[in-house]
Chains A and B, each alone.
Chain A
Amino acid sequence: SYVLTQPPSVSVAPGQTARITCGGNNIGSKSVHWYQQKPGQAPVLVVYDDSDRPSGIPERFSGSNSGNTATLTISRVEAGDEADYYCQVWDSSSDHPGGVFGGGTKLTVL
């Protein structure tokens, strides 16, 4: 089955740029989606189809995807961005299609 690999944690100072990676075999050929989850809350979609933003998500959130790595970039990080972030794809490459989530990355705002 398809595997997505994320760093367990990323730390960044307020106002700086955070980059969270998501590794997978030839992930550049898939559409990658990113979710933000704060403690005790349901996840929220922040980037979909590699780099699109849902309405209501600040432009500070952006995404890219190429080769074996997709990246979520959060510019001008704020304290309110502290959360767990998950990448996700739909794996249709096998005879057993299904959703796949990365293990999640905890973003800490210093």
Chain B
Amino acid sequence: NAGVTQTPKFQVLKTGQSMTLQCAQDMNHEYMSWYRQDPGMGLRLIHYSVGAGITDQGEVPNGYNVSRSTTEDFPLRLLSAAPSQTSVYFCASMGARLDSPLHFGNGTRLTVT
């Protein structure tokens, strides 16, 4: 099982550039989400989705867009990268059971110069 796959693993952008972080899961999970992880701040929720065609904002959505056209994929778009978006980004999915865990990818380390 591949689980949750994130690409790329590393990325360097210049301020103002745009890019898309890819996330795919093969567990048929309805719930998917994006987090960013910064030192001393744990993980902060950016956007989440409870199913195809449905997305909603988390704690820190500004500067990011998402879409959910299929159950498997949940890409995160940075429209105009800023140095404050330098972080490690994690995608996670979750099954429908009450005690289901979040399954995380291995992260994308993004640096914006």
User: Are A and B associated in one complex?
Assistant: no
Binding site for A on B (CB under 8 A): none
